[in-house]
Amino acid sequence: MDLGLAGKVVIVTGATANIGRAIALEFASEGARVVIVGRDEAAGARVAELARSRGAPEALFVAADLLDPLAPHRILEAAEALGPVEVLVNNLGSHVGAALFATSDPATWQADIEITFVTNLRMTHAVLNGMIARGAGRIVNIGSTAGLVGDYMMPVYSAAKSAVHGFTRVLAKEVGQHGITVNCVAPYGTISDDPEAFSRGSRFNRETGFFATSTAFRGLDAAENAKRQRTGVLKRSIARTEEVSGLVVFLASDRAGFITGQIYPVDGGTLL
* Residues carrying an active site annotation: 157
- Residues in the chain, how many? 272
The CB-based long-range contact list for 206-212 (8 Å cut-off, 24+ gap) reads: 210/94, 210/96, 210/115, 211/94, 211/96
Q: Are 266 and 200 in contact (CB under 8 A)?
A: no
Neighbour-count burial of 52, counting CB atoms closer than 10 A to its CB (0-12 exposed, 13-18 middle, 19+ buried): middle
Backbone dihedral region for residue 268 (phi beyond 0: left; psi -120 to 50: alpha; all else: beta): left
Q: Are 47 and 21 in contact (CB under 8 A)?
A: yes
Burial of 162-182, coded b for 16+ CB within 10 Å and e otherwise, reads bbbbebbeebbeebeeeebbb
